[in-house]
Amino acid sequence: MFFKKIFAPIEKLKSGLKKTREKLSGAFRFVLAIGRKIDDELLDELEELLISADLGVEVSMHLVERLKDAYRNREIKNQEEILDFLKDEMAALFDSGDADLAAASEGPTVILIVGVNGSGKTTTAAKLARMFKQQGRKVLLAACDTFRAAASEQLAIWAERVGVPVVKHQEGADPAAVAYDAAEAALARGVDVLIVDTAGRLHTRTNLMREMEKIARVLAKKIPGAPHETLLVLDGTTGQNALQQARLFNDSIPLTGLVITKLDGTAKGGIAFAIRKELGLPVKFIGIGEGMDDLHSFDARSFVEAVFN
Residues 89/63, Cβ–Cβ less than 8 Å: yes
Please count the residues of the chain: 309
Calpha distance 235→215 (Å, rounded): 23
Strands 139-144 and 193-198: parallel
* pLDDT digits 0-9 by tens, 46-64: 999 888 878 888 899 999 9
Q: Return the closest-CA partner of residue 115 out of 291, 294, 241.
A: 241
Residue 96: pLDDT over 80: no
Longest distance between any two alpha carbons in the chain, whole Å: 68
Global pTM?
0.92
| 43: exposed, middle or buried (Cβ count in 10 Å: 0-12, 13-18, 19+) | middle
The whole-number pLDDT of residue 205 equals 62
* pLDDT digits 0-9 by tens, 270-302: 888 888 888 889 999 999 988 888 999 999 999
Strands 295-297 and 283-287: antiparallel
Calpha distance 219→107 (Å, rounded): 13
Q: Return the closest-CA partner of residue 65 out of 86, 96, 94.
A: 86
Mean pLDDT (whole number) for 87-98: 88
The amino acid at 71: Y
Instruction: Tell which wins on pLDDT, 184 or 148.
Output: 184
Q: Please state whether 216 falls in left (phi above 0), alpha (psi between -120 and 50) or beta.
A: alpha
